[in-house]
Structures are given as structure tokens and as C-alpha cells.
Structure 1
């Protein structure tokens, strides 16, 4: 004889189908005495039906099939939809992103069922799971934890169901005749008295409530002791219910029976609630991703509590401060309208996740179950919820601490990256651009940087949007020059929320960082990170602005050490190359000058020993002294004598600021060319390129200036004929190094100049400069200065 049991039903493919399916399976398994399998079976059914609703969208047929004669006995649950083209992938074959998109139903099937599979036909797809019944159906009078003692009920003829009603202050307002038969008190003696005087109340468990708190609950069942009129304390079973309405009109109703008649008011056994804790304990022992673990726990809680939805919330501000005990809210709409609308629920039960250890008692989150109808949960449920919450609190706290550590490391890494990126940047515009690109898109959708200069003027320096095509539009929407304080500016209203962070350091504002985010609020961790970034940016802006001001001042002073322009020399071509070695410097230790005096020209090329401001000071002294003395008609020899004394007088601390100087005068000759009177104080000798291509030095090196007080200097003369070229250089040219070889080794400069016959002065200067630059791959560490003078066929007199 076939003993297989089959029960089927059908649903429309609507969001309500999973709830209907859960109730159907729970009812069927109760009738078949398989309540010990209900937790897993209902969870699997809910997942399979949910997947069918989401991915098929057709009508659904649900079948439960029990085969007790199989070896072993088995329970099969089948879910049929009418979309066979939508195939189902096994968890091992499906990519992780598809599993995330399609839910965890089939993963749960692999975890909870002994077997599962999919059968396809032309018109339908059937997903089935099989659960083996190793112990067979549960026997009468047993529970999943084993047999329980059989309680012998008292005769029904002795049953009295007392009804007691109290107001919100616990004052008895009604006392029915059955209560009088049970407890011996006539209504006239107890109405108007506090119920507390008739009840020997004591709470049970770590979250026990007082009698006053219990009267305020929506529902409650349990044992208590009440005082009989003869003074005895008798054990009773109480079913508590609170009426709805205005708070001042609500009544607490107690249905009271003797303890031996408690079965009359006791709700049906709920094995799901007893098994939820053990199932979650098994889950916590597995190595699962944290988010998947919380999702599975929420599903188990939903199934075990019979709610419409369940959540594991890791936010502590959901229910306000002080919610450190499990709570049932009968009608959420009356308590918190916004939360009721957000959760789409009327009933709510929650238990806190409490931290143990140094922060004992701290709430890190909640386990919450909700239902669309009011009054769905009773206080008894919170005990189960708190049991689950106590298990979940440990991994949640562990994950929270790990997340804090990861966030701290990420914050340090971000700030280190920003510091490294901004280090050494002395351009304010570049700092603004880098700052905007640091926060977009990691922190914000768009960012704008306002800069306030040393005069207090604020301007929009840079904008950056995660989609670059919006940059121009964003710049137009923001004020270019705010006319109010940055913290008072009305930023444009758009899809993003706008936040402004000041760039402050050392008590001064250097502008602001303005960001736009799609989220309405900025988490505290991100707010702290942005504030730290702004302090770092402000410090770099402070340094950059000081550097800019110092560099500007330095450039102005340095430019005063060089001639504004080279004097035109009719009949002569001149070219000058000047390249200081210092980064960002306009003037180094080398200097040059070329000017007219009466009927002739004067030129000078010098090199100060050393570098920095001290060398620049000697440069300024030397150049201006040469020009001033020449204007006063001093000869070249006298210029050297006076400048030598001036250097020695200025060197009061004996630092030895020596100077090599090449100085000369050019007087035009009637037949063309010029007569050159020249002197060289420790300077590389000038080279003369003759018209036939030969090269010869035309000055004898003498003692450096600033060395000896009584030093005397002499001059030499030669004729610069038409088409001949005079090359004057500093040691940055002759001593240009490539390894151990110098450019002028073996008369290298003379050979270079000999190949310049027929070139213009500018061409000669460029060829020499190019030769210096390419002589070595290593940049030159010395200043480079050179002057080229070429005589034309005939000179005109200087007027």
C-alpha cells in the first residue's frame, strides 16, 4: 500500500507568495508531525519561492511530498514555475557576481538540504529539495529536544477562567465571578485596589520586567502567584493583553486560570524559536563572509519568529539612546511614524547587541523583526531574540573592531599618500588641483578649492567633477569670487549635498575645500578624514605662499644684479648666454654687463667665489662698481684697483669673497674693427677667432680681486679686425665636466671656436652653449656665462 502523503497549493507570482508559502508548509508539517523539520523546510521554501517570483514572475505551484517508507524516510518540497528558459546555476558553477544578483537561495539549498535539483519541461521548471527523516515523524508527546514529561491536567469541571481588568496605573477596574471562584475575592473588595497587592510578582531571567512594566506590554503569557482571600499564595497561569486606543483609556486584561489548567491558555509549541539559536550557533562556527552571515541570520530570525521581515542592524541610533533591553512595540505607527513608514511595518520586536568586556553594556546594533499588522509579537519572543542577539554580538563586535582597524589604516594610508603627493609642491594652483583630485571620486562626486591669498582676497582656484564633461558647468555654477565668508556662502542647490571645509593652519584661513556628495550626510569617519586632509593642504598652502613671496622678492632683487638690456653697438654684433645653476634662480655667482661710455663701449664678465645670497651681494657690488667707475672715466686698470679695495673693505668677517673679472673697452677704428683694451683678474683668458680660422688667447691671467690689498693690475691691447670674433667665458664653460674630462682639456674650447668661422655672434654663442649642455648627460652644477662680440666691416662712431 502506498503511504506517500502529498499536499499541494498554487500562488500567483506576487511579493506575497513567499509568506503564503511559509504558512502553508508550516501547517502541513504540523499536520504530519514534522515540526522538528519546520525551520529548515520553511527557510528553503521561502528562498525557492522568492527566487521563482523574482526570476520567473509566473504563477507558482508548491508541493510537499512525504515518503515514510523510503530508506531513509524523506520529505520533498517542489516549487514549479512556468519560465523554463530561465535556467538555474549550481552554486559551485555560478560566478560570485551572479550569486549576489540572484540571491542565496541555492546556496542555502546546498547547506540545509540533503539533495536538490532542477527538472525542466517544455512549459515549466521544477526546483526541488529533499530532506531525509532519519528519525521519522516526531512521536506524540515529544519535542525536538526529546520526550517531555506528560502533564496530567486537572478535571475540566474545576476550571475557572478569571478575567481581571486594570487601568494604566495598575488599579483593578473589573473582576468577573470566575475570578472570585478562583481566588476567593468578591469584586466589591478588590475593584479600586492596586493589582500589585494581589500578585506576588517576581521576574525571571536577566531582562525581567516589573509588574508595572508588564501591564504596559502588548501581550504576555506565563506563570505567576496570586494571593487567595484566605491568605494563601496559589500558582496561576496568566494570559495578558492590552487594549488599543488612547493611552489614558487603555486597559490591561488578565485571563487567569489555575496552574494545572495552564494548557488552556498556553499557545501552541513553537519549535522554530527553540531551534533558531542552535541553527545560528552552527552558522557562526562556519567561515562565511560577514555580510552573508548577517543576511542568513536575518532570514532565520524572520522564519523562526513568523515575521514579515527581519534585520541585523549595525547602527545604534535607530531607536534612540537607552534602548538596552529587548522591546516589543505593539503599534509602531503610534510610536514612530517615520520608522513605521521606512520599515513598512506596524509591529516590531527588537533585542540589542550588547558588548561584553571593557565596554560592557555598550549597544552595537539590534536584531529586529517586523510585521505589517499591529500586535503580532509578544514579550515571550524577546527572550528568543535576546538569546540570538547575545550569540551574534560577539562576531559583530569582532568585525566592528576589525573594520575600525581597517578604516584607521586606510585613513593613515590616504593621508600618507596625500602628504607624499603634496610634499615639495610650491605652486598654489597645483596644490588646489591635486587636492580636488584626491577627494574625487573617493569621497565626493565633485570638489572645488577656494584660495585666500596673503592679502585676504578669495577666489575659485580649481574645480573637479567625477565626470570631466561637467567641469565647465560646475565652475559656472560656483561663485568665482565670494563676497561673503566661505562658511556663509549659499551654494547652488542640486542633486548633491554640498559641504564646506576650511583650510586653516596657524590660526589663519587659506581658503576652503567645497565638496558635493550624492549621500545626504557625511559619516563621522569621513568628516574627520577630510578635516585632516584640509589641515595638511592648508599647511602646504602656507609653505607655498611663503615660498612664492620669498621667490618673488628674490627674483626682483636678483634681476637688479643683471643689466636690464644689452647696449646696442653699431658696427658690432654681440650675444650673451647666461644660465644660473641654482633651481629657480635668475642670478648666480656669474654676472655680465655691456654698456657705452662716451665714444667707446665697455664690457665685463665676472665670477664670484661661492653661491647663495652672499655671492649675489658681491655680484651686485662688482657689477654696479664697474659700471659706475667706467662712467666716471676710470681706466680698466683703475677699475680693478678700486674694486679690489672695495671687496677687501666689505669682507669684514674675513670670509674671503674672491672675484674673477674680465673687463675691457672697445674703441672703434676708422678702417673698421675696434681697438680693445682688456685686463683679466684670475679669469679664463678670452679667445680671439681670426678671419683665417686661427684662435689665440688675448689676455694674461692676473691675481683674483679681493685677495691682496696692494695688488696692482695692468691692461693689454689688441685690434679686433672686421669679421673677427671675441669669446669671453666663465669657468662654468671651461670646467664643464664629463667624468674626469673637462671641456677645455687639450684646448677643447679653442678647437670648438675655430670651427665657428663665418658664423654670426648669436650662432657662435648658441654653438658654445650647446656644446656645454651636451658635453655630459649630468646637468651642470656651475653657472654658465659667455659673451660673444664680432666686429663688422666698418664701425660707426658712438654718439
Structure 2
């Protein structure tokens, strides 16, 4: 039986070719159980491919060939280019470019690391190859196919599907066994792309994409395919790229259920001591902590033959363990595992034949039944665990626990040392991240903006995409914002997520895709404000990231709670403030009126100024006032004054009596320094047109009357402010508002508008402004005065602005 293994691929002659080649070789050697040769093989491959790209400048084909029947067993790596005219200098020759030339040094490196190397020329290609003999560290039998060493699922459930596709992955043939396995009849599948049927997820830094895999000559591995009913079925795939009778290339997939994978591949051997030595070498290379843990998990998983492997590290309390890294078919674990099986007092390796019989919670978390683990011990303290799991029961034996413990003993101290250094870096980074988030969210009182900022805080630093759900006071939850690291996917992401979840967010079935989906509640003071949902390409979430996201969610929930309180208070304030101003001004037949009202305080509807215009019997009343001070206290006086004026006028009190009663009311309030300036008047229609105006001014800027000929005259004498003296007496003045004449009433926010040391009304500036408004409508006069106030100085006004304009028409109808 020919046991030679061959795997090849091709790359364009670009600068990215060496990186693709390194990833390919690592993948192949991992599948062939030759991880101990990976570092030297990857280095040689990188040099050969770089040499081909630089010197030939053409596409290259890379082939890995393992011959286990040779004595000794050997691994050959070949790199072909399409430029046979260039010659390669031998390691000992002197380059014509001089002794310091860099060309040819790749093969000098080959001469040092490889057992043999050479160059083969053909008419169309040049092939450079290196040979590495398998030493004592590798049993050649590991790479040979053989009968399964463990039990498989019942034979009655075995279906071997055969799928043929073109090089683009479009299905051309689908046999009946594939239909039995996945439910799809051939007529529904032929013509569709494999990308639609395969939920592809690579594991680790050297994982291949589906497109890369389809381009390989041979490949075997686990995947998930969509059943006709929408579920994802774990399968094992044996991939082969072959030529048809007409020479066209085709992709052939043999597919079995995951339980039957050993029909297509031999079961992996148990962990060997060489794996532990390989990990130790990795630690000595000063590998970054996260990559170190990921690589440990990958090597343990591949070497053990388990479905998944985890590195667990103790939390700060030391009695619980969090997922620090994972490899294989991990269960998207987040944060902490609280269980008796993995306890701080368990200092010996353990094997659990069936988790469901002893720890149902852990079995559900890991989605596994078999478990083997070994503690990481430092100074007698358990700092973590190496864990291997499998979906079937009784998958492991005691030999595996011994091997795991051997690895754990070698890596425990270095892992603890690196972990302490990483914790210090992570703590600083965590504080920096939370400080940035707090600064970004500070002062934001809009829930939609908070949701948008939250999603963009975690993408792409922590997640590939993020979605924020918000829950209102009625308990209704809705999708508020989504954000993908590639913005063009935002629309598709929003469509794939439930807009209004029909169940609790903890029970939502999130869409299955290439990312692991995790949800974190936004909780504060016992109330849920929604959830942060993220998608990550990594299968697990390390404990440090889980804690960071938990802190971020608490910060976001607190800001949402503050925004909710702010919105409630703002709504209440607006409702109360609006009650201080008239809902609408009374229409005055024969008179035209216009009002401008602009509070100085940003976001306020009402300030210390107020106005009113209403009908009483056969005449109209108007009022314009200004309360001393600002804020809620001034607004309270504003409400008292406006409603008192309207109520007293409706009871037919004269303007003088209104002033007297309001003066007493303010004094009875007993609040010192709360004064009020008020301009109040009555308009009685005259038969010949126009109106008779009865008016009084208590400490208020006098109204200005614009005559038809452009003359401007102040029409009321100043009197004492209201709320100062109990025995004050007030009087009224009367004048006629003739047709086409304009009466302008303003507060001191207009007359005292400041530009440096100059006021708008200095030198009768307001009168001069009004004199130029002859012939304008009341609204035009009001807008001209407003514009003059706004443009008088560059900085905004610091005082409330209120003005009332009344213009008489030629004929005034009686009020009905």
C-alpha cells in the first residue's frame, strides 16, 4: 500500500506568497502530526518561496511530500517557478555581486537545516527542493492510515456523501448519500456554491479559509454544513482536487457525520512527551502571552485527539477558573467556569468518562461528555488547568492524563510568570480603555448616541461586530444600533438580527455564522437597560476580556440610566415651563401682533421673561414682564405673575388694580430680592379704527410708539418695581393707537444687549431702529428687532429676550 502523502498549492508571485506558504506548511504538518518539524520547515519554505519570487518573479507551486516507507522516513518540500533560465548559486560559491551579496543565502540556510537539497530544471519550470529526515521524535506510523482505535457511531447511521464541485466551489454533483446525510435533494443543490452550504470556521492563526482549502490538492478536517431544516451538522470532510477526462480540474468532497470521521481518517495518537517539549521551546522564544496560550491549546488539542482543548486560569480570588484560550470545537465559552470538577483543591490529573453523570452544568457549558484535565501547579497552588474534551463519552484513558500532567508541569511556572506580566499590562490597558469610554460617554444624554458609541468602542478592538439592544420603561426591547468592522456589512447584519426580540435577551437564538455570538446584559440598580451583543472570530472569550466587557456594560448601563433620568426630568421641565407661557396668543381683529421669545439658557423653554396676550369682554389685554434672577425660582415667579395678571383681568380689575394686587402677592411670598418689572395694558377698539390703549409700566422699559410719519415716542412713565414696597401706588396712562401705527414692547434683554461697553439702546438706539420700520408688518418689525439684537455683538446674548409688536389696521372690528 502506497502510504506517501502529498499536499500542494499554488500562489501568485507577490510579496504575500511567503506568508501564505508558511501558513500552508504549518497546516499540513499539523495534520500529518509533524509539529516538531514545523519551525525548521516553515523557515526553509519561507526562504525557498522568497527566493523564487525575487529571482523568477512568477507564480510558484508549493508541494509537501511525506514518505513514511522510506528508511529513514522523510519529508520533502518543493517550490516550482516558471522561470527555468535563472541558475541558483551553490552554498559554497561566490556570487558575482561580491562577498556581501544577499542572493543565494536561502539555499545556504537549506544546507544547514535540511538533510539534503537540490534544484531540478525542466523546459517550463525550475524546482528547488529540501529534504528533512524524520528523527526519533516522530513515529512514522503516526502518519499512516490505520483502523480506528476508538468506537464510532452505529453503522446504520453511516452515510458517505460525495460532492463534486468546480474550482469556484459551485456544486456539479450530489449523491444520494449526501442527501440522506444533509437532507438536500440534488436538484436543490446543484448549481449552488459550497459557501452557502458550509459554515466555515478556521481555528488558530494559521487556519485556511474555505477558498484556500478548495485550492489545495488534498485536505481533511472537520466542518459544519447546513441541513435542509436549517440546523448545522458537524461533519468530517476528505477533500481532493483532481482532473476530469477533458483535463478540467474538479473538487471532490467525501463527507461523513462527525461521529464517523474515523472512517475517513485514522484516530490521532495520545499526547506524547514531545508535545510538552515543543511547548517549552515555544515559551523560551518569548512568544506573546495570548499567542502562547493559543498555541498551547492547539498543540494539546491536536496531539490528544480531543474535540477541543482549553487553557483555564484562576481568577483573582483563586477559587474559580476562566477560559484563557481554546482550540478545536470549542463551546464559545465566556469568563468563569464554576464547578467542582475543576476546583482549586484538585491537585492531581483527572479523567471523567461521562460528565453528564456527575456535572450536568459543566457538560452543558463545554458541550462535551468526556473530559481529561491536569492542574497547573506553582508552589503548591493551582493557577489553572489544561483541559481536553470530547462530545462522546468514554473517549479518553489514563495515559492521556499522564501526558497532560507532563505538559502541565513544564509550562506552569513560565505561564504564571508571563501571566503576571500580562495582567499588569492588561490592567493598565483596561483602565485606559474604561477611562476612554467614560470620557466618551460623559455628558451624553441621548440613548441612541450612547448605543452608537458603545458599539464603536468594542469594534474592532474586541469584536468583529457589535449590536446594542435597548429596553425602555415599559419593558419593550428593540435593536438600537449595529456596527461591523466592515461598514458595508452593517445593513446585512441588521437584517440578520431580531429587531424586536420576542423572548428575553438571554434566551434569544442568535444567527449562526462564522463568528461566535455573545450577549452581555446592561444592568444597573437592578434594572435591565438592554444588552450588548458581539460577534468574535475567536471561539472563546478570555476571562480578562469578559471582565472588561462586564465593566464596560456597567458603565454603559449607568449612562443609560442617567440619560433616562435626564430625559424624564427634561420632559417634566418642558411641560411645566410650557405652562408658564400662553399656548397661543388671542387673535385681535383689526390688530396685527407678533411675539419673539428667546430664553438665554440653552435647552430651556422659559426664562425669567414672560408675555401674554388675551381677550377680556370687548377689549384685549397684553402683558410683558421680567423677573429678577433666573432658574426655577424665577420661573416660579413668572408663573405666578402671568396667571395672576390673566385672572385679575378676567375679573375686570383695572390695570392699576392688577399692579396693586400683584405687588401684594409678591410681598406675601416673603422671598427677599424677588422683584418683577411689568408692562401691562388694555386695548379698546375705536369706531373710526385703531384702539384706545390704557397702560402702566412698573420698572419696565417704556413701550415705543411708531407714528405713521416715522416719529417714535415713549408712551409710559416708569414706576416702582413690583415686590419692593407695600404701600406703593400705581397709575395708568392713556393714548390712542391710530391705524398704521406700531407699538413695540420689549424687555431689558433687548435694550441692554451689550457689545463691550456699549448697549443697544445707548443714544436711543432702539427708537432709531424702530423709526426705520415704517410701513412694515408687525412680524417684519419683530424680526428686524430680533436680528438687530442677535447681530449687535459676536457673542450670544446672556439675557432672555422678549418683545411684543402690535400694529393697528385701518378698521377695527368689535370683539364678539
SS in 1 for 2:81: coil
Match in the other structure for 2:61:
56
Aligned counterparts, 1:67-146, within 5 A: 81=78, 83-85=80-82, 109=109, 123-126=125-128
Choose the corresponding residue for 1:757, options 767, 774, 777: 774
Choose the corresponding residue for 1:478, options 475, 498, 516: 498
Cα deviation, residue 677, structure 1:
1.6
SS in 2 for 1:478: coil
Choose the corresponding residue for 2:472, options 452, 475, 480: 452
Cα deviation, residue 284, structure 1:
7.4
Contact preservation (8 Å) 2:621, 2:681: yes
1:545 and 1:724 map into 2 onto residues whose CA distance is 51
1:469 and 1:78 map into 2 onto residues whose CA distance is 43
Cα deviation, residue 56, structure 1:
3.4
Contact preservation (8 Å) 2:466, 2:532: no
Choose the corresponding residue for 2:481, options 463, 467, 475: 463
1:617 and 1:672 map into 2 onto residues whose CA distance is 39
Deviations 1:679-736 (A, max 9, x none): 1111111112222222221111111000001111122222222222111111111122
Task: Sort the Cα spacing of 1:107 and 1:722 in 2 relative to 1 into closer, same or farther, 3 A.
Answer: farther
Aligned counterparts, 1:160-239, within 5 A: none
Match in the other structure for 1:434:
453
Task: Sort the Cα spacing of 1:45 and 1:696 in 2 relative to 1 into closer, same or farther, 3 A.
Answer: closer
2:501 and 2:4 map into 1 onto residues whose CA distance is 65
Cα deviation, residue 78, structure 1:
12
Match in the other structure for 2:440:
421
Match in the other structure for 1:148:
none
Task: Sort the Cα spacing of 1:422 and 1:559 in 2 relative to 1 into closer, same or farther, 3 A.
Answer: same
Cα deviation, residue 738, structure 1:
2.4
TM-score under structure 1 length normalisation? 0.59
Deviations 1:439-476 (A, max 9, x none): 444336341413131xx331315131415555477357
Contact preservation (8 Å) 1:686, 1:728: yes
SS in 2 for 1:586: coil
Task: Sort the Cα spacing of 1:560 and 1:113 in 2 relative to 1 into closer, same or farther, 3 A.
Answer: same
Choose the corresponding residue for 1:556, options 575, 589, 614: 575
SS in 1 for 2:620: strand
Contact preservation (8 Å) 2:706, 2:742: yes
SS in 2 for 1:56: strand
2:631 and 2:642 map into 1 onto residues whose CA distance is 17
Deviations 1:241-279 (A, max 9, x none): xxxxxxxxxxxxxxxxxxxxxxxxxxxxxxxx99x98x9
Task: Sort the Cα spacing of 1:120 and 1:745 in 2 relative to 1 into closer, same or farther, 3 A.
Answer: farther
Contact preservation (8 Å) 1:499, 1:514: yes
Cα deviation, residue 592, structure 1:
0.4
Aligned counterparts, 1:275-674, within 5 A: 356=378, 360=381, 362=383, 394-441=413-460, 442-443=462-463, 445-453=465-473, 456-466=474-484, 467=487, 469-471=489-491, 474=494, 477-478=497-498, 480=500, 482=502, 484-487=503-506, 489-495=507-513, 497-517=516-536, 521-651=540-670, 654-674=671-691
TM-score under structure 2 length normalisation? 0.58
2:592 and 2:348 map into 1 onto residues whose CA distance is 97
Deviations 1:100-146 (A, max 9, x none): xxxxx96994997699999785643436799xxxxxxxxxxxxxxxx
1:577 and 1:287 map into 2 onto residues whose CA distance is 72
Contact preservation (8 Å) 1:463, 1:471: no
Structure 2's unaligned 5+ residue stretches are 9-23, 30-34, 51-59, 68-73, 90-104, 133-272, 314-322, 328-340, 352-371, 389-394
Task: Sort the Cα spacing of 1:295 and 1:762 in 2 relative to 1 into closer, same or farther, 3 A.
Answer: closer
1:111 and 1:690 map into 2 onto residues whose CA distance is 109
SS in 1 for 2:673: coil
Cα deviation, residue 611, structure 1:
1.6
Deviations 1:214-265 (A, max 9, x none): xxxxxxxxxxxxxxxxxxxxxxxxxxxxxxxxxxxxxxxxxxxxxxxxxxxx
Kindly indicate whether residue 693 of structure 2 is the aligned counterpart of residue 676 of structure 1.
Answer: yes
Structure 1's unaligned 5+ residue stretches are 1-9, 23-38, 63-76, 90-104, 131-272, 329-349, 368-373
1:694 and 1:459 map into 2 onto residues whose CA distance is 65
Choose the corresponding residue for 1:692, options 700, 706, 709: 709
Deviations 1:534-590 (A, max 9, x none): 322222222222222222222222212111211111111100011112232211111
Q: Which has the larger radius of gyration?
A: 1
2:294 and 2:657 map into 1 onto residues whose CA distance is 96
1:610 and 1:497 map into 2 onto residues whose CA distance is 59
Cα deviation, residue 783, structure 1:
1.1
Cα deviation, residue 477, structure 1:
5.0
Cα deviation, residue 431, structure 1:
2.9
2:463 and 2:387 map into 1 onto residues whose CA distance is 28
Contact preservation (8 Å) 1:78, 1:126: no
Task: Sort the Cα spacing of 1:118 and 1:405 in 2 relative to 1 into closer, same or farther, 3 A.
Answer: farther
Contact preservation (8 Å) 1:324, 1:363: no
Deviations 1:347-382 (A, max 9, x none): xxx99895646x756457699xxxxxx99x999x98
SS in 2 for 1:766: helix
Aligned residues: 565
Contact preservation (8 Å) 1:429, 1:461: no
Contact preservation (8 Å) 1:118, 1:128: yes
2:505 and 2:296 map into 1 onto residues whose CA distance is 48
Task: Sort the Cα spacing of 1:11 and 1:534 in 2 relative to 1 into closer, same or farther, 3 A.
Answer: closer
Match in the other structure for 2:137:
none
